[in-house]
Amino acid sequence: MSNSSETSARSVMVIYGTRPEAIKVAPVIKALENDTKLRPIVVVTAQHREMLDQVNEVFDIAPDVDLNLMAHGQTLNAIAGNVITKIDMVLEKHRPDAILVQGDTTTVMGAAIAAFNREIPVVHLEAGLRSGDINSPFPEEANRKIVSQIARVHLAPTMISRSNLLADGVPDENIHVIGNTVIDALHWAVERPSKNSIPGLADFEKDERRVLLVTAHRRENLGENMVNIGKAMRHLALKYPDLLIVWPAHKNPKVRASIAPQIEDLDNVVPIEPVDYGEFSHLIAKSDIVLTDSGGIQEEAPSLGKPVLVLRENTERPEAVDAGTVKLIGTDMERIIAEVSRLLDDKKAYREMANAANPYGDGHSAGRSVDIMNELLSTTQKQ
C-alpha cells in the first residue's frame, strides 16, 4: 500500500487481478514498501475475487484501488475492454512513474496496453514464458507475447525465458534474469505455522497415509479432459485404498460437474473448498505427489521436493521438465493412472523426481526486481 508521507519517492503501480498474480507480486510489493526510493500503488482488478482477497490477507496487503471488474458471464473481450478503460482512468488519476504486471492474464495484457498508450514504462515480471502454441494455454500465450512487445523492462525467471525474449527481438539490455518470485512467496508461507483450518482435513498434519494432491481448472481441459481426470482419480482411489487424494475444488462449476460425481462416494478422496495461500503451501508440503494443470504449482512443488505430473501436453515452464522434477502426462485416463501408479510403486522413480534440483531461484527475486526498477527510474523523468 502506498505511503503518502513519502512524497519524494517514485511510484510503481502494481496491477493484478488473479490469485496466481497476487502470490507472485506480493513479495515485490513488500520489498517496495521497505524501499526508501520507491513506493507501491496497489491496484487490483479482481479477476478472481475471493481467491485474490485470500492472498492479500495472507501477505497483509491492502489495495489502494479495487476496481472489482468481474461480472458473471463476461467474455474475454469484455474483460479486456473493461481493464483497459478502467486502468486508464486510474493511470490518469495517480500518474505512476512505472507499472508492474506479472504473468499473462487478461488483466496483465490490458493494463500493459493502457500504460503503453500513456507512455508509462511497463515492467513485466515473469517475462519470457512460452509454450510454443498460441492456443495453449489460451489466451495466456497470446497475452504474454503481446506484453513482451511493449514492456520496457523484462524480469525473466530463467535463462530459457531470456532466450525466448531474445528470439522475439527484445533487446538484451532490457532483459534481467532474477529467478521466480513464487519461491520468495513460498518460503515466506511455509515458514509460518499452519492454521490446520481446512474443513475435512482436521487431522491432516498427523495423517500417515500417502497424499496425492490434485488441482485442475484450465480452460482447455474443460469437458472430456476434465471427466478423464475425474475417472483417473476414482480408479486410483479404488486401486490404492491407503492413498489419500485431496482435491481443492475450483470455483468453476464446469470443473466441479466433471469431477465431483465420480468421487463423491469414495472415503479416501476429500474434496475441499479453495484454501488461502498459506494453507495451500502447507498442503503441498504435506503431499507426496502433485497432479495438476496449474502453471504456478509446477514451480512451487519442486522447491519443496514434490514430484509433479502435469495434466497438459505442453508447458511454458520447461526448466522443471528438463530438471526431471516435472513430467508432462496429458489427460488420457490410462496414462494418468499409469504415471501416478509408477511413482507410488517405484521408490527409485519417486526419488529421482523428488530429489531433482529446483531451477526457479533462491527466494531473493523480489529484492532484485526492486533494484532493477530503481535503476530504471533513476534514468527517467518523474511523471
Catalytic residues: 104, 126, 140, 217, 219, 250
Taking CA 248 as the corner, what is the angle to CA 209 and CA 256, rounded to the nearest 5 degrees?
Answer: 125
Which alpha helices (H) appear in 118-216, and where do they start and end?
A: 140-150, 159-167, 181-190
Q: What are phi and psi of 310, to 5 degrees?
A: -100, 125
Residue 188 C-beta-side C-alpha neighbours within 13 Å: 21
DSSP state of 235: H
Q: List the one residue out of 369, 336, 147 whose CA is nearest residue 235.
A: 336
| CB-CB neighbours of 7 under 10 Å | 7
Instruction: Give the CA distances from residue 14 to residues 42, 146, 279, in Å, rounded to whole numbers and listed in that order.
Output: 5, 19, 25
One-letter-per-residue 3-state SS of 277-310: HHHHHHHHHHCCEEEECCCCHHHHHHHCCCCEEE
Helix (H, G, I), strand (E, B) or coil at 272: strand
CA distances from 273 to 206, 215, 217, 279 (A): 20, 12, 13, 12
